[in-house]
Structure 1
Amino acid sequence: MAQRRYGFGLVTSFFCISGCIALISLSGCAEAYQNYTVGGSLGWYDNQEKPEVDYQKWASAKNFSLGDFLIFNTDTNHSVVQTYNLTTYKLCDYEDAREKDTILWSSSDPSNTATHAVTVPVPLVKEGPNYFFSSDYDGEQCQNGQHFMINVTHGQGLPESLKDPSDQSPGPVSPDSGDDSVPDTVVPSSFNNPQEQSADDNEPSGSVALTAWGDKFLNGLLLMVLGTTLQTLMI
């Protein structure tokens, strides 16, 4: 009977430890900034070139937060435009966009026949609606499916490398305000772009700190359970 009692205690301890490990792992994942490859393996192209693309459908399955990156895998015949202006987005028009609410991350030269692949990382630095499109060929690529919108939440906020040096982060503009413009967004030129990471690569600082705390807690818990178990067996 005593052996059964010890066995039950060991099993209980095992499940307690396993539960703690799972909780710590989940917490670490929740804290990490994310990189999202736009369109997955299809990349960033219009549906004349890749008929199967549906960027809005791709975006609807994701949760985007400040500090995340969008990775655009495309070529020099397609551009990457980010805007906070709904009118600019609907018109697929970069040329007439307001300077303060639209960013051209990657331009193209349609007359250049030497097309080559490019990867364009775009940080999400402002909450609220963010719109993306390609403005090439007078907006034809945008009209042919190369566009999408996302809603960016606060999440854990911007990492230090993406914060405005003035430490004044502009807020989202209400669509009912009647003003399509938004305050300046300054992205420091020295920020570090996160690279595509596997599960084994280094996590961002917030996740690392939480995981380190979890490791210490887990080690202490293991020692405590082990000591209690040995003490019980010796009785």
Structure 2
Amino acid sequence: MAAKIVVSLACMVVLLGLSEAAVYKVGDSAGWTTIANVDYKLWASTKTFHIGDTVLFEYNPQFHNVMRVTHAMYRSCNTSNPISTSTTGNDSVTLTNHGHHFFFCGVPGHCMAGQKLDLNVIHPVSSTPLSDPPISSSSSPSTTTIPAAGVPGPSPSHAASLPSVVAAVVSLLVSLVFAKFAS
């Protein structure tokens, strides 16, 4: 019986570890657009972004694009020198650094109309840095790995992440089960 409990708990920890990274479709069902009047600031405020998460920009490439920009460019909707530009209509970005990441549509008028996004990736809980995943060269979907824009975010949350709490509880339970059967 104890072995089944230990195996079940170990499986739970493995599954939680695999599910840490999330994929967020920007704008949810509306996608990356000006037509649906999506409040991207509100959309981003309802999410908690972590290192390793992916944001997916889905849009009609005939009418939109995705520009990665600096904070100053974001504030002024300046399209003159973006960090990067994506145009496939199915662009994914893996977040590899904490801090703010700034995006907008570079089509004239779209950024000023609100098609802009400031993602804040929270500080990692552990001190172990993640290595950057490889950059995909495939065209469908386009995947880009980017560092943060260098703008400090709010103070980090010092709350423990769910996976680390679960791992600690499982470890405690396993040691209690073994201690009970060893005595």
AA in 2 matched with 1:135: G
Q: CA deviation at 1:57?
A: 1.1
Cα deviations across residues 7-48 of structure 1 (Å, max 9, x unaligned)? xxx8xx7xx679837952673256x322111011111001xx
- Tell me the residue number matched to 2:159: none
Q: CA deviation at 1:75?
A: 0.5
Unaligned runs of 5+ in 2: 136-145, 153-162, 164-169
Q: CA deviation at 1:135?
A: 1.5
Question: Are residue 20 (structure 1) and residue 6 (structure 2) matched?
Answer: no
- How many residue pairs get matched? 144
- Tell me the residue number matched to 2:67: 81
- Tell me the residue number matched to 2:115: 146
Q: CA deviation at 1:131?
A: 0.8
Question: Are residue 173 (structure 1) and residue 154 (structure 2) matched?
Answer: no
Higher helix proportion, which one? 1
Asked if 1 retains the 8 angstrom alpha-carbon contact of 2:65 and 2:105, the reply is: yes
> Are residues 63 and 159 of structure 1, via their aligned partners in 2, closer, same or farther at CA, if it must alter by over 3 Å?
same
AA in 1 matched with 2:121: V
Distance 1:141 1:160 in 2: 31
Q: RMSD between aligned alpha carbons?
A: 3.8
Asked if 2 retains the 8 angstrom alpha-carbon contact of 1:66 and 1:158, the reply is: no
Asked if 1 retains the 8 angstrom alpha-carbon contact of 2:65 and 2:107, the reply is: yes
- Tell me the residue number matched to 1:54: 39
Unaligned runs of 5+ in 1: 1-9, 108-117, 163-168, 176-206, 208-213, 229-235
Secondary structure of the corresponding residue to residue 130 of structure 2: coil
Distance 1:18 1:35 in 2: 29
AA in 1 matched with 2:104: F
- Tell me the residue number matched to 2:101: 130
Q: CA deviation at 1:63?
A: 1.6
Secondary structure of the corresponding residue to residue 131 of structure 1: strand
Asked if 2 retains the 8 angstrom alpha-carbon contact of 1:105 and 1:122, the reply is: no
Distance 1:170 1:70 in 2: 14
Identity of matched residues, % = 25
Cα deviations across residues 51-74 of structure 1 (Å, max 9, x unaligned)? 3x1111111111212222111110
> Are residues 130 and 172 of structure 1, via their aligned partners in 2, closer, same or farther at CA, if it must alter by over 3 Å?
closer
> Are residues 123 and 174 of structure 1, via their aligned partners in 2, closer, same or farther at CA, if it must alter by over 3 Å?
closer
**Under a length normalisation based on structure 2, what TM-score does the superposition of the two structures give?**
0.61
Q: CA deviation at 1:92?
A: 1.1
> Are residues 128 and 21 of structure 1, via their aligned partners in 2, closer, same or farther at CA, if it must alter by over 3 Å?
same
Distance 1:133 1:88 in 2: 10
Distance 1:26 1:170 in 2: 27
> Are residues 171 and 88 of structure 1, via their aligned partners in 2, closer, same or farther at CA, if it must alter by over 3 Å?
closer
Asked if 1 retains the 8 angstrom alpha-carbon contact of 2:56 and 2:93, the reply is: yes
Question: Are residue 39 (structure 1) and residue 37 (structure 2) matched?
Answer: no
Distance 2:58 2:96 in 1: 20
AA in 2 matched with 1:27: L
Asked if 1 retains the 8 angstrom alpha-carbon contact of 2:71 and 2:149, the reply is: no
Distance 2:39 2:120 in 1: 17
> Are residues 123 and 147 of structure 1, via their aligned partners in 2, closer, same or farther at CA, if it must alter by over 3 Å?
same
